[in-house]
Amino acid sequence: MNIPATGDIRNLAFIGGPGAGKTSLVEALLFKAGAIQRLGSVAEGTTASDWHPEEKEKQHSSELSVLHLAWKGKRFNLLDAPGYPDFVGEAAAALSVSETAVMCVDAVRGLSFTGRKAWELAKAAGRARCIVVTRIDEKELDWPAWVSALGEGLGARCVPVVAPKGTGKAFTGCERVPLGGAGGGPLSALADALLEAVVEIDDAALTRFLEEDQRPSEDEATALLRRSVVAGNLVPVLAVSSLDGKGIEELLEFVSRCLPSPADGPAFKDDGGQPVAAASPGSSAFIFKTIIDPYVGRLSLARVVTGELVAGTPLVVARTGKPEKLAHLQLNQGKEHVEVPKASAGDIVAIPKVEALETSDTLHDAAHSRRYPPLKFPRPMVARSIEPVNHADDAKLSTALKRTAAEDPTFVCERDEATGQLVARGMSIMHLETALRRVKDRHHVECKVDLPRVALRETVTRKGEGHHRHKKQTGGRGQFAEVYLTVEAAARGAGLVFEDDTVGGSVPKQFIPAIEKGVREQMSKGVVAGYPVVDVTVKVTDGKFHDVDSDEASFKMAGGRAFRDGFVKAHPVLLEPLLDLEVAVPSKYMGAITSDLTSRRGHITGMDSLGDMQLVKVRVPQREVLTYPTALGSLTHGEGSFTSTLHDYEVVPPNIQHEIQAGFKPKDDEE
C-alpha cells in the first residue's frame, strides 16, 4: 500500500444532526472510490461505519468510526461522528484531528438545532468547514435561495460550489460551479458569486479583479479557495444524493482539489498554544480515541502530527516519560484493519495492543520532546446509581466500567463517598443506556440502574448536652467510661472543632483522643438520617474513669454515644446541596422552562440572550433535578441543554426532612 505524503492527505470529520445522512454519505464515498465492494445501508445495518450491534439495532451511530479511501493518489481519512448530542465527545475527538469539518444537512428537514450545535462545535475547534446537502433528490427547492437561508441560519458566508441539476423529482445530477467564472450559462451567477468570494482573501487578486477586470486562473482560484476555507472566510456548499451516487464524484474531486491537507492547516498546537507544523523536526503523534475490544484488545487511534511513525520503532509517552514500542500500525476500515509499515505526518492510524497508551497521550521521539494539550470534553450532567445484578460480578463490573470510560471520556463512573453508591455519569439517559449496554454486551455484566441518593449532610442549629456511661462486666476485667460533652454549630466548612474542657483529671489525657475518635466515627455514620455530620463544635466537659476497667475502647464507645445524645438535643437539621444551573433553550420554550424550574424549588437568578437562545440562571436543590434532563428534553423537544455547578448547602425544608428521617433505620453500635 502506498504511503501518502502529507500534502496528499485529507482528514475529514463528518458532523451534523441525527438523520442528516452522514453515514450514508461516507458509505457512498467509500463505494465510489472502490474502498468497499458493496454499497451498504443504514436501515439494513450493513454500512462500514455502523458495525457495532447497538448501532445496527438503533439505526444511528453512537461511536466514532474511522475509515479511509484512496482517490487519484490522495488518501482521505473519513471520521464519521454520531449526530446525537448525547455522544458529543465522539464528535469532539474527530474534530481534534481533522483539518475540515464536513457538515451534512438534510434537504428535506433543513437545518436542525442539533446541526447548529455541531456547527458551533466545529467553529470553536477552529476547523475549516464545508456543507454537504443530502437527499437533494427528495425536495424541490430554489437552490441559491436555500443556500443563502442556510448561511443566515449559521451566521456564515455559504457559497455553492457543486449545484444540483434540478431538485426533487426533477433532479438529474450535480455539476461543479466553475472557479474561474462560467462566462454565461445557467451557472453564470453562481460562478461569479464564487469568484467574488474567493478573491477577497488576497488583496492583490482582489485589486486585479475589481480594477483591471482580471480573473485568476482556475489553479490560482483553487489555491485562493483553499485559503478562504482554512481562514473561515467562506463555507463551500455541495449537493449530493448518496443513494444513487449523484454528486459523489464531484464531492471527491472538490475534497481533492480545494480542501486543506495537514500541510495547509489549521495547524496542530502544542500545550503552550504554539502552532506545530507538519514539517517540524522529530516524530510525534496524538492519541485521540481508545477502543477496547474484549477479543482484539486495546486499539489507540492516533494522528501523526510531525515526522512519521514506523512500525517497530519506540516512541516516548509524554505522560509517563517511558518509551513504548509500536510493534504494528494499522489503517481502520470500520471494524476491519489493514496493516501498514509506516505513516506520514498528518495521517491517522491505529496502534494495537499498547496497554500504556490512553486517550490524549502524546508520543514523541527521544530527541524531540513535545506535548499536545489533552482533549476537552463537556462535563456529563446525568447521573444514575448502578450495581451488578449478581454481586459476584463486582470485580468484573469494575474492570468493564474502567474500559468503557477509557473508550468514552464523557462516561464517568465513581464511588460517591457520602452515599457509598457507585454512580455513573453521562451526557444523557440515552448515553448512559448505551454505555451500560456495552458493559453488558461486551463484558457480560448486567447492571441495576436507579436514581442516585443525594449526598445530604447533618448538622445542628443549637447547643445540646450529651452524656453516656459505658459499663460492661462479664467476669474478670470489665469496661468502664463516662463522658459528658456539648455539641453546637461551628462555622460553615469547619468540619469538627474538638476541644478538651475537662478539669481536675476527671478524664485522663490519654483517653481524650479515644473520645475524639468515637465522635468522628459517629459523625461519619450520621445520627438522624444516616448522612455525615458536618460543622459542629464538640467540647468534652467532664467524665469518670476506673483505674482498672477504663481503656481506649471504652472511652471511644462512650464518646460516640455521648455525641449522639448531645446531637439530637441540639436541634439537628439536614443540609442539601444547592446547584447553580445554566439552562440554554430556544426563546419559544421560556415560559414552560421557568415554570418547571419554579416547581422544583428553583430560584431564578438571571437571564441572558444568546441569539435566538435564552440562558436561564437558576439556583435549585440537587434532589429536585435528578430527573431534570428528561424533563428538559421533553419540554424543548431535545433542543435544551444545561450545565450545573455546586453552589453551597442549605437547610432542607422541615416537611422534606421529616420524610427523609422517617425512612431512616439506625444500626445500633455493639456494646
Q: Per residue in 401-430, pLDDT tens?
A: 999 999 999 999 999 877 889 999 998 888
Q: Which residue has the cell 460551479?
A: 177
Residue 123 has pLDDT above 90, yes or no: yes
Asked whether the predicted pLDDT for residue 509 surpasses 90, the reply is yes
Q: Any idea how long the chain is?
A: 671
* 71: CB partners within 8 A, 6+ apart: 33, 252, 255, 256
- Would 646 be classed as within a structural domain? yes
Poorest-pLDDT segment among 24-28, 189-193, 249-253, 348-352 = 189-193
Indicate if 125 and 242 belong to the same structural domain: yes
Residue 138 lies in a domain: yes
Alpha carbons 33 and 71: distance in angstroms, whole number:
6
Mean pLDDT within 168-179: 91
Q: End of a domain among 547, 570, 593?
A: 570
Q: Which residue is it, cell 440515552?
A: 430
Write out the three cell numbers for 605.
Answer: 437568578
**End of a domain among 549, 570, 591?**
570
Q: Are residues 436 and 535 in the same domain?
A: no
- Is residue 272 assigned to a domain? no
Q: Say whether pLDDT at 190 is over 80.
A: yes
The answer on 399 and 484 residing in a single domain is no
Q: What is the pLDDT of residues 51-85, one digit of tens each?
A: 767 776 777 777 899 999 999 999 999 999 998 88
State mean pLDDT over 113-140.
92
Query: What is the model's pLDDT at position 671?
Result: 46
167 and 185 in a single domain? The answer is: yes
Count Cβ atoms within 10 A of the Cβ of residue 364 and give its class: 0-12 exposed, 13-18 middle, 19 or more buried: buried
**Are residues 398 and 476 part of one domain?**
no
CATH number (domain holding residue 337): 2.40.30.10
CATH number, domain containing residue 212: 3.40.50.300
- Asked if residue 211 has pLDDT above 90, the reply is no
pLDDT confidence tier of residue 667, bands split at 50, 70 and 90: low
φ and ψ at 574, to 5 degrees?
-95, 145
**Residue 643 pLDDT grade (very low, low, confident, very high; cuts 50, 70, 90):** confident
**Nearest-5° angle of CA 67, CA 343, CA 31?**
25
pLDDT over 90 (residue 343): yes
Mean pLDDT across the stretch 213-226?
Answer: 88
Q: Which of 520, 548, 570 is the last residue of a domain?
A: 570
Residues 82 and 144 in one domain: yes
Grid look-up 466514532 returns 64
Give 294 or 627, the one with higher predicted confidence: 627
613 and 520 within one domain: no
Together in a domain, 236 and 165: yes
Q: Taking residues 630-646, what's their average pLDDT?
A: 88
DSSP E strands, 153-212: 158-165, 173-176
Contacts of 588 (CB under 8 A, 6+ apart): none
What's the confidence (pLDDT) of residue 184? 57
In a domain, 483, yes or no: yes
Residue 490 has a pLDDT of 94
Instruction: Report the number of distinct structural domains present in the chain.
Output: 5
7 vs 61, more confident = 7
Q: Best-predicted range by mean pLDDT among 257-271, 358-372, 438-452?
A: 358-372
- Each residue of 141-161: pLDDT tens digit? 999 999 999 999 898 999 999
Report the CATH number at residue 395.
Answer: 3.30.70.870
pLDDT of 187 over the 60 cut: yes
Query: Is 274 within a domain?
Result: no
Instruction: Return the higher-pLDDT residue of 334 and 558.
Output: 558
List the CATH number of the domain containing 595: 3.30.70.240
Q: Are strands 313-317 and 322-326 parallel, antiparallel or unpaired?
A: antiparallel
Q: Considering the domain boundaries, does residue 100 fall inside one?
A: yes
CA 340 to CA 330: how far, in whole Å?
Answer: 6
Report whether pLDDT(228) > 70: yes
pLDDT at 382 exceeding the cut of 50: yes
Examine the domain organization and report whether 213 and 112 are in the same domain. yes
184 and 37 share a domain? yes
Considering the domain boundaries, does residue 200 fall inside one?
yes
User: Greatest CA span in the chain, whole angstroms?
Assistant: 114
Query: Can you say whether residue 329 is alpha, beta or left, with left for phi > 0 and alpha for psi between -120 and 50 degrees?
Result: beta
Q: Locate cell 512519521: which residue?
A: 308
Mean pLDDT of the chain: 90
Domain identity same for 130 and 157: yes
Read off the pLDDT of residues 360-380 as tens digits, 9 standing for 90 and up: 999 999 999 999 999 998 888
Share of the chain above pLDDT 90, in %: 66
CA–CA separation, 98 vs 266, rounded Å? 9
* Burial profile 567-597: b = 16 or more Cβ within 10 angstroms, e = fewer: bebbebbbbbbbbebbbbbbeebeebbbebb
Q: Domain limits at 532?
A: 458-570
Q: Which three cell numbers stand for residue 352?
A: 494495537
The average pLDDT across 118-134 equals 93
Q: Is residue 226 part of a domain?
A: yes
Average pLDDT over residues 616-622: 94
For residue 1, what pLDDT band results from cuts at 50, 70 and 90? low
Residue 566: which CATH number? 3.30.230.10
Residue 532: per-residue pLDDT: 92
Q: Are residues 403 and 349 part of one domain?
A: no
